[in-house]
Amino acid sequence: MSAVAVSDPKFISIEGIARRYPAAGGGFTTIFEDLWLQVPRGEFVCIIGHSGCGKTSVLNILAGLENPSDGVVVVDGQAIAGPSLDRAVIFQGHALLPWKSVLGNVAYAVSSRWRKAGRAEVEERAKRFIDLVGLNGNEAKKPAELSGGMRQRVGIARALSIEPKIMLMDEPFSALDALTRGTLQDEVRRICKSTGQTVVMITHDVDEAIYLADRIVLMTNGPEAMVAEVVENPLPADRRRDTIHHEPDFYTVRNHLVDFLVSRSRTFRDDKPAGYDPRHPPVVRPGAPVASPPANTIPFPAVAKARD
């Protein structure tokens, strides 16, 4: 959904990563292994999978907060070796500094990024991003004086203000009421579209993924989770939240995702498609193959193709 030309198909390159934890009775539990994924610059990717499959672990590895037990992640040509301001993380909780105002929280991030910038310059930039997320007029308030949605906006403003190479979001809207969630989804989509921001986001919400993502990565159940496939979003780039359910392919892609979560996420490991290669998970673009019948009532032949 980038407004800029998508280039650099390996902007984020996840190369054979694994995550293992010590098991209670000795040995190790493998949460996932041999996980490969590439994200082009400017793409919005959502990762979907059941609880415990390792989504947060993948995100933490991308953030540099955890090391993979095996494999490597390369971002813009550099292997990740720890946290960096190049990679902004937005969590479910807001992780704001409670003693600082809205302006103070965002300005703190800006001055961490540009240490030599003067106060006026820092505040000007911080205010610009506070405006961008619709919080102007609230600059002096402390986090405790804000609603959950407003706090999440501050988190988004803070993340965007440091011009991260990638934005990592772990269920950023799941704690919000439906109305606020929708508004923030609109804003994140608008901002990411206009800035060409590269985003990797975890969500449990299929509709949220269809609205926001260019591609949706489906993870099988853990332990030993794997990327079953990468779903290309067939909906038009100018899709709108209030009319998205009228898009001809909406129910086709939605059913595909829900079917995966209901059954294939469990069975995929023992029933892999012939030729399945974890280095090149199948890329699928659900779409109604014939005109006229309602898209949600017909099966469709998902067009799978090997990634190069």
Query: With binding defined as CB under 6 A, does residue 48 bind ligand ATP?
Result: no
Whether 42 and 84 have beta carbons less than 8 Å apart is answered as no
With binding defined as CB under 6 A, does residue 53 bind ligand ATP?
Answer: yes
CB of 22 to ligand ATP, least distance (A): 7
Region binding ligand ATP by CB under 6 A among candidate stretches 45-53, 176-184, 250-258, 277-285: 45-53
Place of tokens 């090997």: 306
Contact pick of 56, 197, 233, 265 for ligand ATP (by CB under 6 A): 56
Shortest spacing between CB 167 and ligand ATP, in angstroms? 18
Binding residues for ligand ATP, how many (CB under 6 A)? 11
Nearest-approach distance from CB 272 to ligand ATP, in angstroms: 20
Nearest to 219 by CA among 37, 89, 49: 49
Question: CA 120 to CA 90: how far, in whole Å?
Answer: 26
- Would you say 54 or 155 has its CB closer to ligand ATP? 54
Contact indicator for 287, 249 with CB cutoff of 8 Å: yes
Q: Which of 21, 79, 97, 306 binds ligand ATP (CB under 6 A)?
A: 21
63 binds ligand ATP (CB under 6 A): no
Beta-carbon neighbour count of residue 59 at 10 Å? 22
Distance CA 263, CA 73 (A): 30
The residue type at 178: A
Q: CB of 186 within 8 A of CB of 107?
A: no
Q: How far is the CB of 239 from ligand ATP (least distance, A)?
A: 26
51 lies in the binding site for ligand ATP (CB under 6 A) = yes
Output helix, strand, coil percentages for the chain, rounded to the nearest 5.
Answer: 35, 20, 45
Work out how close the CB of 147 gets to ligand ATP at its nearest, in angstroms, rounded to a whole number: 24
What is the x/- site pattern for ligand ATP, positions 77-116, by CB under 6 A? ----------------------------------------
55 binds ligand ATP (CB under 6 A): yes
User: Least Å distance between CB 2 and ligand ATP?
Assistant: 26
Q: Return the structure tokens found at 134.
A: 């619709």
CB 45, CB 65: distance < 8 Å? no
Q: How far is the CB of 19 from ligand ATP (least distance, A)?
A: 7
Q: What's the rounded Cα separation, in Å, for the pair 207 and 222?
A: 23
Q: In what order do the strands lie in the sheet with 44-48?
A: 87-90, 166-170, 198-202, 44-48, 215-219, 227-232, 283-285, 303-305
Stretch that binds ligand ATP, among 54-62, 72-80, 106-114, 261-269 (CB under 6 A): 54-62
**Across the strands, what pairs with 85?**
none
Q: Does 215 bind ligand ATP (CB under 6 A)?
A: no
**Which residues lie near ligand ATP (CB under 6 A)?**
21, 31, 49, 51-57, 222
